Amino acid sequence: MNYENPSSLGLYKKPLQKKTIEKNNYLNLPDLHFFLMCQQHHRVNKGVFNTIDHWFYEYGIVNIIDRRNYVLAFLEYVTEGNSQPNHHKYLKFGNGGLTRRLHQFTKEKEIEKYII
């Protein structure tokens, strides 16, 4: 099995873990940088991002790292579920659509259709 040495950590990891480690690095970014990463990769505006973050907080996910995992998983879920080509600058949910999608996501997560 091939192992590679992460640059400054001096630890060994399997190559398959690269995406997980990179995702963990994103989770520890300062708030603004985490939002900008989400905006760049998922076309989410600040208002929608804050609503998602607040919704998960109210849902009971208080730990910031866990909540950021949920935010990223939700954004991936929304992006994957959007089969139509979207030419908008930002994700669009429509009136009440964001809350509906958040409920749908958490319901599917609870029955383990979508694993975080």
* Interval 72-111: pLDDT, tens: 999 999 887 665 555 667 777 778 889 999 999 999 888 7
Contact 92, 86 (CB under 8 A): yes
Q: Is residue 9 part of a domain?
A: no
What is the predicted pLDDT for the residue at 17? 46
Count of domains in the chain?
Answer: 1
What is the predicted pLDDT for the residue at 66? 93
Q: Is residue 72 part of a domain?
A: yes
Enclosing domain of residue 22: 16-82+89-110
**Pairwise pLDDT comparison (115 vs 68), residue with the higher score:** 68
* Interval 40-67: pLDDT, tens: 988 999 999 999 999 999 999 999 999 9
- Choice among 17-21, 27-31, 39-43, 63-67 with the minimum mean pLDDT: 17-21
CA–CA separation, 38 and 35 (whole Å)? 5
Q: Is residue 48 part of a domain?
A: yes
Q: Is residue 42 part of a domain?
A: yes
CA–CA separation, 7 and 60 (whole Å)? 36
CA–CA separation, 88 and 82 (whole Å)? 13
